Amino acid sequence: GILNKVFHNITDTHVAHHLFSTMPHYHAMEATKAIRPILGEYYQFDPTPVAKATWREAKECIYVEPEDNKGVFWYNNKF
């Protein structure tokens, strides 16, 4: 949507941003395309529009929790 463009595609390139936080935003799309095949099944993307996702998060209270300090994180529901 329009906010994604205003914020330099951060919703589409968030994984690349976290892997390469000093990378200029204008290389984020290119980097995202390059890392998807490398990460394979570990690359996660939720195509839900931001307004709908925000409502879902507020309603369902989804959060991420570590599993026994193994570096693995799982989505859980607070309720």
Residue-wise pLDDT tens digits, 10-30? 888 988 998 999 999 899 999
Partner residues linked to 68 by β-bridges: none
Q: Pick 77 or 56 by higher pLDDT.
A: 56
Residue-wise pLDDT tens digits, 25-73? 899 999 999 999 999 999 888 888 888 988 888 888 777 777 777 777 7
Domain ranges of the chain: 1-45, 46-79
* Region for 70 from its dihedrals, namely left if φ exceeds 0, alpha if ψ lies in -120 to 50, beta otherwise: alpha
Q: What does the DSSP 8-state code read for residue 10?
A: T
